[in-house]
Homo-oligomer: A and B are copies of this chain.
Amino acid sequence: MEFSSKLIEKAVDEMSQLPGIGKRTALRLVLHLLKQPKEQTGFLSQALLNMREDIKFCENCHNISDTKVCEICANTARNHQTICVVEDIRDVMAIENTGQYRGIYHVLGGKISPIEGVGPSQLNISTLVEKVKSGKVIEIIFALSSTMEGDTTNFYIYKQIADSEIIISTIARGISVGDELEYADEITLGRSILHRVPFEKTFKNN
């Protein structure tokens, strides 16, 4: 792509480094900003800069937070003996939205992925193992996505804490609510039969 202006070219170059944004989309976004009042670009740039400069991570669970300890960890009404291990802040938000979980979280910051060059040392794994070894934890719930990377990460952590006397569980895999059986893949369907639950549970818990 040849641009008639270096300024546009630079803006498009930077924009298109974001994931899922190609040069064409970047140009569309940049031209949109040009049609809007100057303040909008100012607000956007400032919000991004402030976010990147001043963001903090909770000392305890590594969740993104504006304070040293995040709201969830600071909440004494929650069960601090149950830790749900998740990949990032989006998973915390998703589980919080269900309203079904009253324990705390541990945010790993990613999954072990040799393809993307992410090893265990880049993730918040050691602090999790320390927490388990401290003896204050009763249950660990793995809530990573059900992919090869997720399973690898689960297993890597499991091996380090398997000798502790705590309950280690993963979230249930099975048929999604509203799904038709005939379209479910066989692994999911197979697991959902193996891990069947007493029928009464389905209406008692909800």
Contact = CB atoms under 8 A, between A and B. Distances in A.
A168 interface: no
Contacts of A5: 55-56, 64-66
Interface residues of A, number: 61
Contacts of A161: none
A55 B8 contact: yes
Contacts of A42: 49, 52
Main secondary structure of the interface of A (DSSP, over half): helix
A14 B42 CA distance: 10
Nearest to A71: B4
A7 B55 CA distance: 7
B44 A32 contact: no
Contacts of A11: 47-48, 50-51
B63 A7 contact: no
Interface stretch (A21-29, A127-135, A152-160, A185-193): A21-29
Contact of A38 (B1, B13, B41, B52): B52
